[in-house]
């Protein structure tokens, strides 16, 4: 308890899945959290569950004006933002020869542009108020390849690269930027692509012989948001049960 006292965090995609687990863990450790998501009902319910130190705000990560609004709201409501969990993202599979350009562009707008706009928006506040921590959600598909995943992987490799560039640019301003690379995690986003069968297939590929759950991811976000990680910047950290120790899921 108390590892994140005096921290003000924005968690994008915070209404469910990994984002909800991160928001719960942040509040449990003393942070004040803005849950930012397009899923209004789930986000409001989570904010009510977490109490006075959590607030839901409808937020489209691909929209610059929406970023301005959510950062201003957090700054006014709780104080200067010093943690951003850039967690929002979508997953789409598609073969190179058949995937529509509109699907590719949607992945780019949410996953890649959303992360860039988030870093841009909070960096201004963090620079003026002593620094902070930005945690970007990439994926094991940002570390290795997988069939039918070219468009999705492109965004996750981009997040990995943007994180390293931002770490170099923002580090002198007291802002740390790191990327997290989850493996297969049992969330609504992954279950929609195959349900139990997909989870069983994924588990068979993992050295630990299970897929992850959101609660496996949240502790790393707490660590990276806390002062315990004050000398970690530009890192890429896999939370994947050992999958990237050898081959990716598609091998």
Catalytic residues: 152
What stretches of 34-113 show up as alpha helix (H) in DSSP? 40-50, 64-77, 101-107
Separation of alpha carbons 200 and 204, rounded Å: 6
Separation of alpha carbons 194 and 191, rounded Å: 6
- Pick from 159, 215, 206: which is nearest to 186 by CA? 215
In sequence order, what are the residues at sequence separation of 6 or more whose Cβ sits closer than 8 angstroms to the Cβ of residue 195?
none
**Would you say 249 and 205 are in contact if contact means Cβ atoms under 8 Å apart?**
yes
């Amino acid at each position: 308890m108390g590892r994140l006292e005096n921290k003000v965090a924005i968690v994008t995609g915070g209404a469910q899945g990994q984002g909800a687990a991160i928001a719960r863990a942040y509040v449990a450790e003393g942070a004040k959290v803005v849950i930012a998501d397009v899923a209004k009902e789930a986000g409001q319910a989570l904010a009510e569950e977490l109490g006075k130190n959590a607030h839901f705000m409808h937020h489209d990560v691909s929209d610059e004006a929406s970023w301005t609004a959510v950062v201003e709201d957090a700054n006014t409501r709780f104080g200067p933002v010093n943690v951003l969990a850039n967690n929002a993202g979508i997953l789409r599979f598609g073969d190179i020869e058949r995937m529509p350009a509109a699907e590719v562009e949607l992945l780019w707008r949410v996953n890649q542009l959303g992360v860039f706009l988030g870093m841009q928006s909070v960096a201004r506040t963090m620079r003026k108020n002593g620094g902070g921590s930005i945690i970007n959600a990439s994926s094991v598909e940002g570390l290795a390849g997988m069939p039918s995943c070219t468009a999705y992987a492109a965004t996750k490799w981009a997040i990995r690269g943007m994180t390293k560039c931002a770490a170099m640019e923002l580090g002198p301003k007291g802002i740390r930027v790191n990327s997290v690379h989850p493996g297969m995690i049992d969330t609504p986003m992954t279950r929609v692509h195959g349900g139990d069968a997909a989870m069983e297939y994924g588990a068979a590929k993992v050295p630990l012989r299970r897929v992850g759950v959101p609660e496996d991811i949240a502790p790393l976000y707490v660590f990276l948001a806390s002062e315990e990680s004050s000398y970690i910047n530009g890192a890429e950290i896999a939370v994947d049960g050992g999958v990237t120790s050898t081959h990716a899921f598609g091998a």
